[in-house]
Chain A
Amino acid sequence: MKDSVEPYVTADGRTIGDRMMEMRNITLRFGGVVAIKDISFDIREGEIRAIIGPNGAGKSSMLNVISGFYHPQEGEVWFRGEKRPAMKPYQVAQQGVARTFQNIALFNGMSVLDNVMTGRLRQMKTGLWSQMIWKGPAEREEVENREAVEKIIDFLEIQAIRKTPVGRLPYGLKKRVELARALAAEPDLLLLDEPMAGMNVEEKEDMSRFILDVNDEFGTTIALIEHDMGVVMDLSDRVVVMDYGRKIGDGTPDEVRNNPDVIDAYLGVDHD
């Protein structure tokens, strides 16, 4: 399903057209607290879309709405030109939305390889019976998916640690393994929740490179939350700015940078 809108051209000359996902008037409340207040924006096929804002602005809640973990009280989520019914997170994942987490959520008891293979559940369909027998369909499927996973492992340069239990890895590598797990699903839409939090400059550069490469080579649409403004402005094609659950800005990095509301939210405003 295509949802065509007026295309725009990014800073590096790509033309971005159809809508992949659209949030329409989303309001999310936790009891009396309004986490997201009447927000609308869209994510287009092939773009890198950033969501920024000060702490507590509702960015992660927004990502959780997209990935089906929270269900907004008001508003609609449209995916590929169709209104998405209330879905469980695993159903959203099966539609091709993968994500990483702010606090690393890897499976600590499993090896890197198993973690990344878990990302491919969407592609692995053999039932319990054939897995009991193993020889035959189950083994064939395992090998096919292993090949796909090895490509991702290769792409993210984590070959050397593929048999290491994830719990033993340093922080930066864990972030990378988490990206590998999300990529293994071959998602159409990849959600990254602070992919560069707590990293040093080199790790940030590596991660930025990987994000751009993923977008470039696999054509994956990416929505990311990030606090490092330099990174956001360099990476993203369009930016949504949130503050106290409201949307205060939306547009290309340059537009957002010069938006007075955004400057007020980040630098504070003189109330005299």
Chain B
Amino acid sequence: MLYREAGDFKTSYVDDSQTFPIAFDRYRYWAVLAVAFLVIPFVIDDYWANAVFVPFLIYAIAAIGLNILVGYCGQVSLGTGGFMAVGAYACYKLMTAFPDVSIVIHVVLAGGITAAVGALFGLPSLRIKGFYLAVATLAAQFFLVWLFNKVSWFYNYSASGQISAPERSVLGIAVTGAQVAPWAQYMICLVFCTISAIIARNLTRGSTGRKWMAIRDMDIAAEIIGVNPLRAKLSAFAVSSFFVGISGALFFAVYLGAVEVGEAFGIQKSFLVLFMIIIGGLGSIFGSFAGAAFMVLLPVALKVVGVDWLGFPTDTVAHFQLVIVGALIMIFLIAEPHGLAQLWRLAKEKLRLWPFPY
């Protein structure tokens, strides 16, 4: 009885095109936001923040970014790790060069710098597509990681070659560095994640998003009906890299604190985020969250089940984890190639008619 549209009449186009057209969905959305902002910060502890919530939120931002590029605009990218590294290093350079400026501004600027770099590496997309473009972005991944290893200016000539986040605070509360409280880490990621999701939704619902999707579905037809392919593709690369850069900056500054580029932002990171959006659902903001949750929670859940409940040795579970995650991804792609978002959509369709579908 909860999930109904009957009697919920839309009288304006604004109402008709809102994000959650069904009233129950709207309430659920506000409830999730309320819990996320008003409940979780007060109960969160170090384990939950570091193992679950902070990585989930940061990866969700990266997944939203990549989903804009791959899911909405149809341009395959394997350079996510490299672009996250750009965000991280840009944030580090800004934090050390301008210590008095708020870290929030640094993170946003790092996103902007990544957007510029992303647009630059998006230029080949004007000529090549599909697998070939994937290879070109792969070059970006390796080049960027190599660059940050090679040029010591990027890590301020530190002996270890690592970058580590100096202590910074927002509104007097430390959010980076050693003394940071779990709830502060969580809150800054949550704020960035929420705003990113809203911006991404706004962009994809309007004419910009339609341009991207037109390019994705049929680029020649899109050009003939008036989409400038150069602008559409480069804007997708820029916006996507903006979010990826923000997530990279947060990943370094808030989550890890200290980063060695090849380790944290290697090719595995690119694939991890790509898996997230494929499992979550291409071309769906909700899918980005679902995929990020799946990929972050699965190892944690396996560890809890394997080590804590069944009492296996930690290393055995760690090895099994690789096998199980791999197998699950394959099973998943065979069973539901359109991802968790599609499952969710189907469930909603069913729910609208439940319990009397005929």
Provide the bound-state CA to CA distance between A114 and B223, in Å.
16
Residues A133 and B202 in contact, CB atoms below 8 Å apart: yes
- Give the residue name and chain of the A residue nearest to B206 (CB): A131
- Residue of A whose beta carbon sits closest to that of B204: A131
Chain A residue nearest to B72 in the complex (CB) = A109
Alpha-carbon gap, A226 to B210, bound state (A): 30
CB-CB contacts below 8 Å: B8-67 with A: 12-14, 17
In the complex, are the beta carbons of A185 and B226 less than 8 A apart? Answer: yes
| CA of A99 to CA of B220, assembled, Å | 12
B92 to chain A, nearest CB (A): 26
Minimal beta-carbon separation of B201 from chain A (angstroms): 8
A134-B213 in contact (CB<8A) = no
| Selected contact of A143 from candidates B13, B217, B221, B239, CB within 8 Å | B13
Please choose the segment from B97-105, B142-150, B152-160, B227-235 that sits at the chain A interface, where 4 or more of its residues have CB less than 8 A away: B227-235
| Interface residue tally on A, bucketed by range | 35 or more
0/1 string, B169-211, CB within 8 A of A gives 1: 0000000000000000000000000000001001101111011
Residue A90 lies at the interface, judged by CB distance under 8 Å to chain B:
yes
Q: Are A89 and B224 closer than 8 Å at their CB atoms?
A: yes
Assess the B225–A109 pair: CB atoms within 8 A. no
B218 an interface residue at 8 Å Cβ cutoff? yes
Please indicate the chain A residues that have their CB under 8 angstroms from the CB of B17 in the complex: 142, 146
Cβ of A242 within 8 Å of any chain B Cβ, yes or no, is no
Question: 8 Å CB contacts to B: which residues of A57-98?
Answer: 67-69, 88-90, 93-94, 98
Known A119-B225, A121-B207; judge A134-B235 contact (CB<8 A): no
Over the window 118-140 of chain A, the binary record of Cβ atoms lying under 8 Å from chain B Cβ atoms (1 yes, 0 no) is 11111010101001111000110
Q: Once the chains bind, are A131 and B202 in contact (CB under 8 Å)?
A: yes
Most buried by B among A67, A114, A121, A128: A121
Report Cα–Cα, A105/B229, bound state, in Å: 16
If A93-B224, A132-B202, A133-B202 touch, does A124 touch B207 (CB 8 Å cutoff)? yes
Chain A hits for B283, CB < 8 A: 109
A89 cross-chain contacts in B, Cβ below 8 A = 223-224
> Out of A118, A141, A142, which one reaches B225, CB within 8 Å?
A118
Q: Closest Cβ of chain A: how far from B219's Cβ, in Å?
A: 10
Of B218, B229, B235, which contacts A90 at CB under 8 A? Answer: B229
Q: Is A205 at the interface (CB under 8 A from chain B)?
A: no
The verdict on B222 contacting chain A, using a C-beta distance below 8 Å, is yes
Task: Assess the B225–A117 pair: CB atoms within 8 A.
Answer: no
Q: Are A109 and B217 in contact (CB under 8 A)?
A: yes
Please tell me if the beta carbons of B214 and A118 are within 8 angstroms of each other in the complex: yes
Query: A93 to nearest B CB, angstroms?
Result: 3
A178 to chain B, nearest CB (A): 9
Knowing A93-B225, A99-B224, A122-B226 touch, does A107 contact B206 (C-beta < 8 A)? no
Closest partner residue, chain A, to B218 (CB atom): A105
Kindly provide the distance from the CB of A212 to the nearest chain B CB, expressed in whole angstroms.
Answer: 23
Name the A residues within 8 Å of B222 (CB-CB).
Answer: 107, 118
Q: Is B269 at the interface (CB under 8 A from chain A)? A: no
User: Scoring A residues 159 to 191 as 1 if CB is less than 8 Å from chain B, else 0, what string do you get?
Assistant: 000000000000000000000011001000000
Chain A neighbourhood of B218, CB < 8 A: 105-108
By a CB distance below 8 angstroms, the chain B residues around A93 are 224-226
| Residue numbers in B under 8 Å from A134 (CB-CB) | 202, 205-206
Establish whether residues A131 and B217, one from each chain, have CB atoms under 8 Å apart when the complex forms.
no
Once A93-B225, A98-B225, A121-B227 are accepted as A-B contacts, the answer to whether A132 and B13 lie under 8 Å apart by CB is no
Contacts beyond the supplied A107-B222, A108-B217: 12 A-B pairs with Cβ under 8 Å: A93-B225, A98-B225, A108-B218, A109-B217, A110-B214, A118-B210, A118-B213, A118-B227, A121-B227, A131-B203, A133-B202, A185-B225
User: 4 tightest A-B contacts by CB?
Assistant: A93-B226, A105-B221, A107-B217, A134-B202
